[in-house]
Structure 1
Amino acid sequence: MTTPTSPSAGVYHSRSRVTRNRVALAAAGLALTAFGYLIGRLQDGPADPASAAAVPPASAPVATSAAADPSPSSVPPSAPVGGIDAYTIIQAEYATSQQGTESQDTEDEGGGRNVGWINNGDWLRFDEINFGATPATRFAARVASDVGDGVTGQVEIRLDSPSSPPVGSLTVGNLGGWQDWQTQSTIITPVTGMHTVYLTFSCQSGVEFLNLNYFAFGP
């Protein structure tokens, strides 16, 4: 009977490289899956329509994971260590501070509350929004409006000060009703790191033009 010989050191190293490559490919696949879902949410076309259609619970946190449906909450949680992930859903009513706005019960899917009565010069402030090292290049918001025909307003995204130059702007007009919700998105200047995010609102007509439920950033 022949005694089997142990594999050479080169064989072990080769197997180790194969194992590492398989782990790296698996991690990359998971990252691409999460990325695809997030982009689907931002474009109002979820990658998994069945899960996106599910009614979310009423007690989800302010920043939910990208793989979960956005849902309202009656009590805003404290910002986690490292801040709030910019790539998750952030509910508008949990602004750290605000000027000129009020919240109300929403008829959007999932229920909860939205911010309304938004007019020129109003703003919302969100502390410790963490963009990390991956640049955010897209902003999306869940909006509704019954402003007069031909009237538009802007949601401007500013960093660290309400008077900073905006990194992006989303224009919103009449969407058919104050509770007729749509997800709209816009391209922004790439953003990384930790910031206080201000959403400032402008409307040359000087009328209330917008309801806002939630928003998120995307790569």
Structure 2
Amino acid sequence: MGCFFGPSCVARSALGYPLDLMSTPASPAPGVYHSRSRVTRNRAVLAAAGVALVLLGYLIGRLQGGPGDAAAAVPPGAQGSSAAAPGAPGATVPGDAPAPSADDPQATEPSSEPPAPEGGTDAYGTIQAESATNQQGLQYEDTQDEGGGQNVGYVNNGDWLRYDDLNFGTTPATRFAARVASDVGDGVTGQLDIRLDSPTAPPVGGLTVGNMGGWQNWQTQSTVIMPVTGKHTVFLTFASQSGTEFLNLNYFAFSH
């Protein structure tokens, strides 16, 4: 816009200034402002789109790579750099399992007791004498003892009874008891010995029996034996110097 020819214009003209230099600059056309605003907005949109694409690519890479990529990205020299040096407190040798804590209720020492043998006849139950797997020189007869059934009779020197697979378990048997009767002459005795796995093996224990007042006058006699565990064939062997029958046997059992 030009000068309005007011007093200031006259003064400026008198000083020699051109009137066109004193004129007010013309305002830009409205379209110029709109063009600049559009350019600025387009640049901002492009920048935001670029950032969004970068973030999207990062997320896709994380989803496809999985947790293993993070470990793979660690430089080889950096792995294990925080581990304690061998010999340092808290350091562990590869392959060594941590020692169990004494306060841990599950930290129990392995049992030194051998596993119990399976099957067989329970050595701690009542074993009827007439249930022998095999025998030599003996006869069976009806018994008058409590419970009835039969007993082994006419026991003489050199006779024996065999019982297979008696299971003594892992806790040793230390006693033997037998239900016996005898009407042998006064002063005559005989021997009942317990042997393992052979009728000629050294005895682990035995009973010395004498006159009890009748062949059906039953008594329970017991003795201490050497500790026996596991599963064995048990032989009861009989010996006497009299040369005559000296014993009847109804049943027997072992105990701890």
Q: Output the TM-score relative to the length of structure 2.
A: 0.54
1:177 to 207, 211, 214: 214
After the TM superposition, which residues 9-88 of structure 1 pair with which residues of structure 2 at under 5 Å, given as runs? Answer: 82-88=119-125
Task: Name 1:206's counterpart in structure 2.
Answer: 243
Question: How many Å apart are 1:206 and its aligned residue?
Answer: 1.4
Task: Name 1:126's counterpart in structure 2.
Answer: 163
Render the CA deviation track for 1:23-79: whole Å, top value 9, x for unaligned: xxxxxxxxxxxxxxxxxxxxxxxxxxxxxxxxxxxxxxxxxxxxxxxxxxxxxxxxx
Asked if 1:138 corresponds to 2:175, the answer is yes
Question: How many Å apart are 1:204 and its aligned residue?
Answer: 1.1
1:194 to 223, 226, 231: 231
1:112 to 149, 163, 178: 149
Question: How many Å apart are 1:180 and its aligned residue?
Answer: 0.2
Amino acid at match of 2:236: L
Question: How many Å apart are 1:212 and its aligned residue?
Answer: 0.1
| CA distance in structure 1 between the partners assigned to 2:241 and 2:168 by the alignment | 31
| CA distance in structure 2 between the partners assigned to 1:111 and 1:91 by the alignment | 11
Render the CA deviation track for 1:127-153: whole Å, top value 9, x for unaligned: 000000010010000000000000000
SS at match of 2:130: helix
Task: Name 1:151's counterpart in structure 2.
Answer: 188
Task: State the percentage of identical aligned residues.
Answer: 75
| CA distance in structure 2 between the partners assigned to 1:86 and 1:97 by the alignment | 17
Query: Which structure shows the bigger proportion of residues in strand conformation?
Result: 1
| CA distance in structure 2 between the partners assigned to 1:197 and 1:211 by the alignment | 18
Task: Name 1:7's counterpart in structure 2.
Answer: none
The alignment covers a number of residue pairs equal to 140
Asked if 1:168 corresponds to 2:184, the answer is no
Unmatched 5+ residue regions in structure 2?
A: 1-104, 106-117
| CA distance in structure 2 between the partners assigned to 1:205 and 1:107 by the alignment | 26
Unmatched 5+ residue regions in structure 1?
A: 1-16, 18-80
| CA distance in structure 2 between the partners assigned to 1:152 and 1:103 by the alignment | 21
Question: How many Å apart are 1:205 and its aligned residue?
Answer: 1.2
Q: Output the TM-score relative to the length of structure 1.
A: 0.63
Asked if 1:102 corresponds to 2:142, the answer is no
| CA distance in structure 2 between the partners assigned to 1:170 and 1:137 by the alignment | 14
Q: Which portions of structure 1, spanning 4 or more consecutive aligned residues, are displaced by more than 4 angstroms?
A: none
| CA distance in structure 2 between the partners assigned to 1:194 and 1:204 by the alignment | 32
CA RMSD of aligned residues (A): 1.0
SS at match of 1:93: helix
Amino acid at match of 1:128: D
Amino acid at match of 2:239: S
| CA distance in structure 2 between the partners assigned to 1:91 and 1:209 by the alignment | 19
Higher relative contact order (CA 8 A, sep 6+): 1
